[in-house]
Amino acid sequence: MNTLRYHGAAVGGRGPAARTRPGRNTALGVLALAVALLTLAAAGASAAAQRAGTLLTVRFINNSDRDLTLGPNSYNGCPAALPERINAGATATWNLDACGDPRGNFGTVSFNIYREPNRTQISWDAPVVGDATYTQTAPAGYVISRSGGQGVNPTVDFTFDCNSTTCDGIPDSWKRNGIYINPADGSAHTAPAPGLQFVNLPAMGATVNKPDVFVQLDWMANDNHSHALAPAAIKQVVDAFANSPYSRHSPTTGINLHVDAGPNSIMNFATNATWGTLSKARPLTEQTNLGTAVNGMYQWNAFNTIKNDTGGFTSTGRAPIFHYAISAHNLQAGTPSSGIAPTPGSDLIVSLGSFTGQVGTVAEQAGTFMHELGHNLNLEHGGDQNVNNKPQYFSVMNYLYQFGLTTGTSTGNTDLSRQNTSLNENSLNERSYPASSGNYDIRHWCPGSNGGSFVDVAASQGQVDWNCNGLIEETPVTFDVNNDGQRTTLTGFDDWANLLLRVGSVGRTSASGDVPPPTREDELTPSDAALNLPLDTKPPVTKAHVAPRPDKHGDHHSDVCVTLTAKDRVSGVARTEYKLDGAGWKKYRSEITVHGKGKHVLKFRSVDYAQNHEKTKTVVINIKR
């Protein structure tokens, strides 16, 4: 904290003074002089007392959706305990003491806004005598107001808030009336407002009391295929946002997601009304690769060239309101990743050219679109961190679930995480199952599963074989369940509760042609997706081979060797075990030798990595000497 303190001279100190004698003044003159001196002395004493005890109380109410941290500040007087942090929805109060400075209280305090390059700032000048003056400033997308602050030992309230009811960056007046915007590229438009572009938000379905997120989705196409996202994929994401528990700074739950994917695309899935003439989305010429990378960082120049084309996204004037997305073929050459987006930001790319049919399935399209939009809205692959493949983090932001979550027979569900649940890899209870609001099935790493894969275990199992040994242990086990080479506590994250809707250009007062910063290119690839096994509901099949073969009567006349062979089509065999002649169950490792005259009963069974248990099978071996 950089603090400048100004100390005035002590009030009420004694010093030399000229003295005079009353001489031959009359009694009346002496009396008048005495009264005047007493009055002045009283006034001076009162002023001195007021100056010495003057306090200013500042109360800062953060009604926005962003946490604030203390920025540069300066003030006079005694040291003050300024708040280092004011969380969203919280109020901070601090006292400022002039400590004898005859000028009173004056100073400035600023606060950094989470995920914003700008600050909010308050200043005050509260003199001992006279009215106090205050100033306050807030960047675009926010407002700050003041009340109180006058009188002796005043209290002043500063209230920091969003510029819209739901903190989505779109002012309420825009939602009610639409808005004329001057595009950043200077493109001209026709009357009634030459040079301006009208964005008809009411006709697009914007609402004041529910947050709105708008996306313009352009798509590449050629004679062989189109990267336009399927209506079913868009609807899946729109429904996920509408049905979400999001209620941050909002009087309702859920988010209205509006996706302009062309004039014929659906604007309102309840009525099937299309965007029609309200649409600005357009097809783009197919490019095998969009952009380049330098040292693993994607460069957005090629994307920005399309964005700023005459008649393109920037020309629409939508940048203060819409995210801009391109559904492309692939990113830079040699990279088959599914897309990319800055965190946070307002630009994104879906690139499924290396996936199913060069355009992706509905599940791949929906999951990837929501995943990249999630990056824009402040989410990483592990929620608030880039630790991927956390089994208990049920979100399309997670590679394990990007192409959809499963629950029972329902697959391809798109959702963001709804709870903050941790998983300690050094103490894993195999007899419990990580809970989720959607009762979703869990995936975890098994190194022996088809060479190593993420196995899908149904929630109905109610338990998880974390160490993949085919048993459910009584005591906690230790295992690297996300295959990152470490055994740590994997933290959870409530995605919906932490979304930021005013991001990138959204909420700024004018359109922007800025290039997004270089972005780490580490998105899901087909090889990553191949590690995620589908739900396995069928148990393994184990067969027994007996040698030598019995005679025609089914009898053996020597020791017998039994070989067990187990196969599983999906998750792989975790354990095969046997029990001979009533002894305890043993793990099968190699051929079993059966010897000794008499009837022998061999029981055997297998379990796969998804915990599907095969019914016990039996082989009877009769040895006669």
Query: What mean pLDDT, rounded, does the chain reach?
Result: 89
- Rounded to whole angstroms, the Cα distance separating 436 from 451 reads 29
Could you give phi then psi for residue 228, rounded to 5 degrees? -60, 130
Instruction: State yes or no: pLDDT of 48 exceeds 70.
Output: no
Which helix (H) or strand (E) covers residue 340, if one does? strand 339-340
Residue with the bigger pLDDT between 185 and 286: it is 286
- Rounded to whole angstroms, the Cα distance separating 316 from 182 reads 9
Nearest to 204 by CA among 248, 293, 268, 140: 268
pLDDT band at 79 (very low <50, low <70, confident <90, very high): confident
- Rounded to whole angstroms, the Cα distance separating 363 from 429 reads 32
Check the CA dihedral 59-65-67-70 and report its sign: negative
| pLDDT the model gives residue 18 | 35
CA dihedral 480, 484, 485, 486 (to 10 degrees): -60
Query: Which residue in the block uniquely carries the two structure tokens 């002649």?
Result: 581
∠ at Cα 590 (584, 591), nearest 5°?
A: 85
Contacts of 454 (CB under 8 A, 6+ apart): 389, 400, 443, 444, 445, 446, 483, 531, 532, 533
Could you report the per-residue pLDDT of 462-483, keeping only the tens digit for each?
Answer: 999 999 999 999 999 999 999 9
Distance of CA 268 to the CA centre of its chain: 26
Which helix (H) or strand (E) covers residue 490, if one does? strand 489-490
| pLDDT the model gives residue 408 | 79
DSSP for residue 534: P
Nearest to 423 by CA among 434, 407, 438, 439: 434
Could you report the per-residue pLDDT of 92-116, keeping only the tens digit for each?
Answer: 999 999 988 888 899 999 999 999 8
pLDDT band at 540 (very low <50, low <70, confident <90, very high): very high
Asked whether 465 and 471 are in contact (CB, 8 A), the reply is yes
| pLDDT the model gives residue 323 | 97
∠ at Cα 243 (237, 247), nearest 5°?
A: 115
Q: Can you tell me the mean pLDDT for 516-522?
A: 93
Q: Can you tell me the mean pLDDT for 428-454?
A: 92
Could you tell me the two tokens for 322? 């819409």
Could you report the per-residue pLDDT of 546-600, keeping only the tens digit for each?
Answer: 999 999 999 999 999 999 999 999 999 999 999 999 999 999 999 999 999 999 9
| pLDDT the model gives residue 410 | 84
Nearest to 516 by CA among 331, 310, 341, 356: 341
Could you tell me the two tokens for 148? 């109180």
| pLDDT the model gives residue 313 | 95
| pLDDT the model gives residue 173 | 95
Q: Can you tell me the mean pLDDT for 217-221?
A: 98
Could you report the per-residue pLDDT of 250-279, keeping only the tens digit for each?
Answer: 889 999 999 999 999 999 999 999 999 999
Label residue 360 exposed, middle or buried (CB < 10 Å: 0-12, 13-18, 19+).
buried
Instruction: State yes or no: pLDDT of 193 exceeds 60.
Output: no
Q: β-strands 297-299, 519-520: how paired?
A: antiparallel
- Rounded to whole angstroms, the Cα distance separating 169 from 545 reads 70
Contacts of 492 (CB under 8 A, 6+ apart): 383, 390, 392, 393, 417, 419, 420, 421, 422, 423
Which helix (H) or strand (E) covers residue 371, if one does? helix 362-376
| pLDDT the model gives residue 103 | 87
Query: Which residue in the block uniquely carries the two structure tokens 């950043």?
Result: 184
Instruction: State yes or no: pLDDT of 12 exceeds 70.
Output: no
∠ at Cα 88 (86, 93), nearest 5°?
A: 35
- Rounded to whole angstroms, the Cα distance separating 429 from 127 reads 65
Could you report the per-residue pLDDT of 297-312, keeping only the tens digit for each?
Answer: 999 999 999 999 988 9
| pLDDT the model gives residue 318 | 94
Could you report the per-residue pLDDT of 155-177, keeping only the tens digit for each?
Answer: 999 999 999 999 999 999 999 99
Contacts of 143 (CB under 8 A, 6+ apart): 160, 161, 162, 163
pLDDT band at 187 (very low <50, low <70, confident <90, very high): low
Mean pLDDT comparison of 286-295, 433-442, 513-522, highest-scoring range: 286-295
| pLDDT the model gives residue 511 | 52
Instruction: Specify which residues 112 forms β-bridges with.
Output: 69, 119
Could you report the per-residue pLDDT of 116-143, keeping only the tens digit for each?
Answer: 888 999 999 999 888 999 999 999 889 9
| pLDDT the model gives residue 184 | 64
| pLDDT the model gives residue 192 | 53
Q: How many other C-beta atoms lie within 10 A of the C-beta of residue 24?
A: 6
- Rounded to whole angstroms, the Cα distance separating 220 from 353 reads 11
Which helix (H) or strand (E) covers residue 351, if one does? strand 347-351
| pLDDT the model gives residue 29 | 42
| pLDDT the model gives residue 512 | 60
* pTM of the complete model: 0.86
231-242 and 362-376 helices, crossing angle to 10°: 50
Asked whether 303 and 327 are in contact (CB, 8 A), the reply is no
pLDDT band at 36 (very low <50, low <70, confident <90, very high): very low
Could you report the per-residue pLDDT of 339-363, keeping only the tens digit for each?
Answer: 999 999 999 999 999 999 999 999 9
- Rounded to whole angstroms, the Cα distance separating 98 from 105 reads 5
Could you give phi then psi for residue 338, rounded to 5 degrees? -80, -15
| pLDDT the model gives residue 571 | 95
| pLDDT the model gives residue 38 | 37
CA distances from 134 to 123, 146, 150 (A): 6, 8, 10
One DSSP character per residue, 38-91 reads: HHHHHHHHHHHHHHHH-EEEEEEEE-SSS-EEEEEEEE-SS-----SEE-TT-E
Check the CA dihedral 65-67-73-77 and report its sign: positive
Nearest to 258 by CA among 228, 220, 199, 216: 216
Could you tell me the two tokens for 166? 């739901």
